[in-house]
Amino acid sequence: MSVRRESASRVQVWSERIVHVSAIVSAIGLLILTLLVVVDVASRNVFDKPIDGAVEATELLMPYIVFLSLAFALNRGEHVRVTILVDRMPSRFKTISLVASYALGLVFFGLSGYYAWGFFWKSFISREIMMAIVELPWWVGKFAFPIGFFVMVIALAALLIQTCLGTRQEAQLREE
């Protein structure tokens, strides 16, 4: 195995591990949100006493569910794509198109992550609190944005490296 392929393989393994952990955290957030809603509804209907702050807590969990699962969907090829032009391109142009889309994605998610970090940090430093019955810190939910974007950058970088080095399987290129 060449050094290039070995390096690309290591990048892919680490990227997949990080994306997998991110997806697990997202799934745990979804499970917690579901349980919280079920218990809140049951408590409201059975005891006529809802859980204080349950709605706000679900609002804090939603960004984790959405943003930490973005890279997982990317790796599985499950994001919505319009491929009417790409499907008609020769293989070489498909590769160039993939490289361009991964590079643009890196720039977009890199910049988004940079600004999301500032958004989170400002909230964290100011100890921003949600307007609710129970005091819940806003920064907890806002932390999901830069983390999700960072994981997406890792996934895009790995895909870009694999595509540029030609280590992606041809079947994957046809699917994309």
Domain range summary for the chain, segments of one domain joined by +:
3-175
Q: Which amino acid, one-letter code, is at 88?
A: R
Residue 88 is predicted with a pLDDT of 82
Q: What is the pLDDT of residue 92?
A: 83
pLDDT at 170: 41
Q: What is the pLDDT of residue 173?
A: 45
Per-residue pLDDT of the chain (176 residues), as tens digits, is: 566 667 767 888 898 999 999 999 999 999 999 999 999 999 999 999 999 999 999 999 999 999 999 999 998 887 777 778 877 878 788 888 889 999 999 999 999 999 999 999 999 999 999 888 889 999 999 999 999 999 999 999 999 988 888 766 543 444 54
DSSP codes, 104-149: HHHHHHHHHHHHHHHHHHHHHHTT-B-SSSS--BHHHHHTHHHHHH
Q: What's the one-letter identity of residue 8?
A: A
CB < 8 Å & 24+ apart, contacts of 44-50: none
CA distance 156 to 160: 6
CB 64 within 8 A of CB 145: no
Dihedral of CA atoms 40, 45, 47, 51 in degrees, nearest 10, equals: 20
